[in-house]
Amino acid sequence: MKRKFDAFKLIREDKSIFVYNRFDPELILQKSKFHEVSYSQDIMNIISVGRLEKEKGTDQLMYVAKRLYDRGVKFRWYFVGTVVGI
């Protein structure tokens, strides 16, 4: 995944990291059944999980989205979490 992300050259490769999911996969699968979501195989699907608040820098995500858009990348961005003060 890191190589795919880095190929877009949105940020320097030494500034991006890939973090493996540290949560129980079975629990995640169980919880995923609560809401049905379909994902397109033809575009990049991005999922941001966590509290969305300015202090965490999530307001910067709009600049990343603009750079993807300007480069002609077709994507859909999903946000999962609560919004605080943005």
Contact 84, 52 (CB under 8 A): yes
pLDDT tens, 7-42? 888 888 888 888 777 778 888 788 777 777 777 889
Contact 74, 42 (CB under 8 A): yes
What is the reported pTM?
0.53
Q: How far is CA 50 from CA 72, 81, 86, in A?
A: 27, 5, 14
Q: Measured between alpha carbons, how far is 49 from 31 in angstroms, rounded to an integer?
A: 14
State the pLDDT at residue 71. Answer: 95
Q: Which residue has the tokens 């307001």?
A: 59
